A and B are shown apart, each in its own frame.
Chain A
Amino acid sequence: MNQPREQEVPPRLALAHISKSFPGVKANDDISLSVRPGEIHALLGENGAGKSTLVKIIYGVQQADEGTISWNGSPVSIPSPKAARRLGIGMVFQHFSLFDAMTVIENIALGLDEAVDREALKGQVAAILQSYSLPLDPEREVHTLSVGERQRIEIVRCLLQKPKLLIMDEPTSVLTPQEVERLFATLRQIAAEGCSILYISHKLSEIKALCDSATILRGGRVVATCDPKVETTRRMAELMIGAELRRIEHGRASGAGAVRLAVSGLSLPGAPPFGTDLREIAFEARAGEILGIAGVAGNGQAELLTALSGERPATAPDAIRLDGKPIGLEGAGARRTLGLSCVPEERNGHAAVPDFSLAENGILTARHRLPLAPHGIISRGAVRRFADGVIKLFDVRTTGSAAPARSLSGGNLQKFIMGREIGQQPAVLVVSQPTWGVDAGAAAAIRQELVDLAAKGSAVVVISQDLDELLELADRLCVINEGRLSTPRPVASLGIDEIGLMMGGIHGAGEQAEAAHA
């Protein structure tokens, strides 16, 4: 796909000297780049490097302070997403805006700028699904779909507008390896038809596999452009962080510590309307070990996490034991006081309150174990010192502990949340997607902290869809599928195909069947 550059053809998109400031940070600083027709162009950079800000400017969600955007050679202004769509720019956000209780086709109809006749729309959607061999049933209700299928809805929405540039912000962080493969096939076909693609991801191996060229951002500036096909992933990561990449050091005597968390016969009905039932969950996590829980999203991970955190208490006291003590009926606060900390995967509105400052977000889960609010009186000083400490230790890029949580880039908020929990030295830490949306350098740092926490005698449970991460971190691994947990097995004894098959479960089989139809 790497055709020789033709000077006559103007670039599809050219940015010149784009700058954008937020209070206290220059998110984009004099950024220039160009994307040719049909090119798949990667945007790389650490958390907070300014990638999302840049594509939001291109998609008209935000306005640049300085600089010009040229479209097919002529300068344009893009005051709104609608204007961007009119030019032929489509964007798939990481968080989908879909209505769970409606069908695929209804969701697509709702997302369109102009009202379209329902039958005509059905025909167009069918044609797109057909020509890109996308397995997706337009009549299914969204809540029955996997994350990969939901993403396809967003892609179809974009393709309906016949885009000339498709922007994808971290599209694969929640997909299984199989779903990623299918997505790449679709993207390659779209590009081959002449549509340019601007692709943001922290997964460098994917960028090597997919992209024709890459622009690397650091601190809002372009620090390098490179050909990902020739550059090593390690080299790209080092360009991103401007330093050498740390390797994880496993310095622990793994295995035979005392049982710290014991779960047995834990069954809970899923929250209506679309929750997954937990069925007879049983596992143990020992001091010094990291237990990995793999699985495709929506198989009970969220329910398991809230059952362990105490947000939804179990029905029997000894369904969950912490250091031998039955805590199944205790609430979230009591469990945390006893030393069980949990980090849910959703940062905004679950692990953190977007409208609160980082300091105030510290109070949310750290007040039980640290003297942040003795006798119910909040100690401003202690709260600020705690948040400042987390920010420093975990290298959270922000203007300070007074910054509202929502102003942080996704990865930086995740670093703050992880730091808040690890900083309390819990007896057991359960975390879901610990490095979701976190850049390579910071992900390595977070994983190192998890390893170190285990080495100090805590038990760590990592729930993740990222198999590479689990294989790197975990001593033992099990899989959650439709609310059931398999028996944990030592990672050393497992092959990756075996885990992939266990994860695939029903979803995998279903998709193969659909693929056969298409």
Chain B
Amino acid sequence: MLEWRRRREPSTPMLWLSPLIAIGLTMLAGMLVFTAMGYDGFHAVGSIFVTPFAEPQRWADIGVKAAPLVLIALGLAIGFRANVWNIGAEGQYVMGAIAGTGVALATYDMSGWWILPAMALAGILGGMAWAAIPALLRVKLQVSEILTSLMLTYVAVQFLFFLVRGPWKDPDGFNFPQTRMFTADQTLPTIMEGSLVHIGIPVALLLAVIAWLLMEKTTAGYAVKVVGLAPAAARHGGFSAARTTWATMLLSGGLAGLAGLFEAAGPFGQLTPQFPVGYGFTAIIVAFLGRLSPLGIIFGGLVLAGTYVGGEIAQSTVRLPQAATGLFQAMLLFMLLATDVLVRWRIVWKRRAA
């Protein structure tokens, strides 16, 4: 008979193994589900989880999609460690892109090296401003940031639709709902000739290392952890929960905003209604898959980026619908939450006593 036993201590090996088990279970369950639905389940799973990593020509694409995921997840994870649950990174991502695009449109007929940094700064500030609203509501009125940040996402997306259909519509764009294309000075430099691999990728890696140093080596990171683990001890040690809420909300908003600007000034090169692809939500899965650790998040970002790339492959190889990508991602989160039970519990095989 199988029996659950509570572990005396949370298991550290299980903490890191559980994401791998979850990926394995997702592949297995996906295979069964899509086979049952009449697809070639085996090849579907192979296309999504294996092909993107096995074929070197896909790696650039994975990197381009991992960069925003990692950037956003870094900020979210730091907040989650402090018990600050910013679920609305998607909205901050969109607002960052809007703010950066505002600068781009205003500097349309100018040139100079300073334009791109100015856009990046605007992107960060745009994301921060959008995150400041839930932060303020939580600190001043004890309103749950989970609800407010999520609801503000829909406001941001509607605002984007309004802009690209109205005031920001490209005057030479045959009435398509999209902004002008950005100029060369407004576009992220690529770091590999003839590919989409842009400067955002090394920036995301660098920021992951900085986030790791921040969490492990500084009093600021210490404050985040204490506030999350033991709020009373944090007060006793002179750490302010309100300040930590502000700092982590603004940080995660700023990083999401930067990611949005990179996406606008990189792969898109303009704003269109197709701009919000859900990276802000997927980044939540990335953060948990990476165990809320900055270095783990790089791994998590690559896996989830792989599912986007693989989802496109599977559309052509086994004619999987586009929605399958989201399905696999959600299934991964579900499996992860389930396997995390193993961190605190273990399964023992017990003979039933007579």
CB contacts (< 8 Å) of B239 on chain A: these are 333
Q: Which of A309, A344, A356 has the most CB of B within 10 A?
A: A356
Interface residues on A, range: 20 to 34
Contact of A336 among B222, B233, B238 (CB under 8 A): B238
CB distance from B246 to the nearest CB of A (A): 16
A352 interface contact, C-beta 8 A: yes
CB contacts (< 8 Å) of A334 on chain B: these are 238
B351 interface contact, C-beta 8 A: no
Q: Which of B232, B236, B238 has the most CB of A within 10 A?
A: B236
A331 interface contact, C-beta 8 A: yes
Q: Is the CB of B238 within 8 A of A376?
A: no
B218 interface contact, C-beta 8 A: yes
A198 interface contact, C-beta 8 A: no
Q: Is the CB of B235 within 8 A of A332?
A: yes
Q: Is the CB of A364 within 8 A of B233?
A: yes
Give A375-391 interface residues, CB cut-off 8 Å to B: 376-378
Question: With the chains together, A373 CA to B8 CA distance in Å?
Answer: 33
Q: Is the CB of A331 within 8 A of B240?
A: yes
B118 interface contact, C-beta 8 A: no
B171 interface contact, C-beta 8 A: no
With A332-B235, A360-B222, A365-B237 in contact, is A353–B229 under 8 Å at CB?
yes
Q: How many A-B residue pairs have CB under 8 A?
A: 66
B226 interface contact, C-beta 8 A: yes
CB contacts (< 8 Å) of B218 on chain A: these are 373, 376-378
CB contacts (< 8 Å) of B226 on chain A: these are 353, 356, 364
Question: With the chains together, A501 CA to B32 CA distance in Å?
Answer: 75
Interface 0/1 of B186-229, CB less than 8 Å to A: 00000000000000000000000000000001111010011001
Who on chain B is nearest to A331 by CB? B238
Contact of A364 among B217, B220, B237, B240 (CB under 8 A): B237
Give A29-75 interface residues, CB cut-off 8 Å to B: 62
Q: Is the CB of B233 within 8 A of A355?
A: no
Contact of A376 among B219, B232, B233, B237 (CB under 8 A): B219
Question: With the chains together, A97 CA to B213 CA distance in Å?
Answer: 40
Who on chain B is nearest to A80 by CB? B5
Who on chain A is nearest to B240 by CB? A331
CB contacts (< 8 Å) of B8 on chain A: these are 62
CB distance from A367 to the nearest CB of B (A): 7
Question: With the chains together, A342 CA to B219 CA distance in Å?
Answer: 21
A326 interface contact, C-beta 8 A: no
Q: Is the CB of B219 within 8 A of A350?
A: no
Question: With the chains together, A356 CA to B218 CA distance in Å?
Answer: 15
CB distance from B43 to the nearest CB of A (A): 45
With A356-B229, A364-B226 in contact, is A332–B219 under 8 Å at CB?
no
Q: Is the CB of A355 within 8 A of B229?
A: yes
CB contacts (< 8 Å) of B238 on chain A: these are 310, 331-334, 336, 365, 368
A263 interface contact, C-beta 8 A: no
Who on chain B is nearest to A23 by CB? B9
With A331-B238, A364-B226 in contact, is A351–B220 under 8 Å at CB?
no
CB contacts (< 8 Å) of B235 on chain A: these are 306, 311, 332
With A62-B8, A354-B230 in contact, is A373–B237 under 8 Å at CB?
no
Interface 0/1 of A324-335, CB less than 8 Å to B: 000000011110
Interface 0/1 of B315-353, CB less than 8 Å to A: 000000000000000000000000000000000000000
Who on chain B is nearest to A407 by CB? B9
Q: Which of B8, B218, B232, B237 has the most CB of A within 10 A?
A: B237
A363 interface contact, C-beta 8 A: yes
CB distance from A344 to the nearest CB of B (A): 7
Question: With the chains together, A62 CA to B7 CA distance in Å?
Answer: 10
Q: Is the CB of A350 within 8 A of B232?
A: yes
A510 interface contact, C-beta 8 A: no
Q: Is the CB of A351 within 8 A of B219?
A: no
Contact of B217 among A62, A331, A336, A378 (CB under 8 A): A378
A123 interface contact, C-beta 8 A: no
Interface 0/1 of A303-343, CB less than 8 Å to B: 00010011100000000000000000001111010000010
Q: Is the CB of A378 within 8 A of B237?
A: no
Q: Is the CB of B236 within 8 A of A351?
A: yes
Q: Is the CB of B236 within 8 A of A309?
A: yes
CB contacts (< 8 Å) of A333 on chain B: these are 237-239
CB contacts (< 8 Å) of A306 on chain B: these are 235
Q: Is the CB of B230 within 8 A of A353?
A: yes
Q: Is the CB of A349 within 8 A of B233?
A: yes
Interface residues of B (CB under 8 A from A): 8, 217-220, 222, 225-226, 229-230, 232-233, 235-240
Taking A356-B225, A377-B217 as known contacts, 4 extra A-B pairs with beta carbons closer than 8 A to each other, sorted by chain A number, are A350-B230, A350-B236, A364-B233, A378-B217
Name 21 A/B residue pairs within 8 A (Cβ), A-sorted.
A62-B8, A311-B236, A332-B235, A332-B238, A333-B239, A336-B238, A342-B236, A349-B230, A349-B233, A350-B233, A350-B236, A351-B233, A352-B233, A353-B226, A353-B230, A356-B225, A365-B237, A365-B238, A377-B217, A378-B217, A378-B222
Interface residues of A (CB under 8 A from B): 62, 306, 309-311, 331-334, 336, 342, 344, 346, 349-356, 360, 363-365, 367-368, 373, 376-378
* 9 nearest A-B pairs in the assembled complex, by CB-CB distance: A333-B238, A332-B238, A364-B237, A311-B235, A350-B232, A349-B230, A353-B230, A376-B219, A373-B219
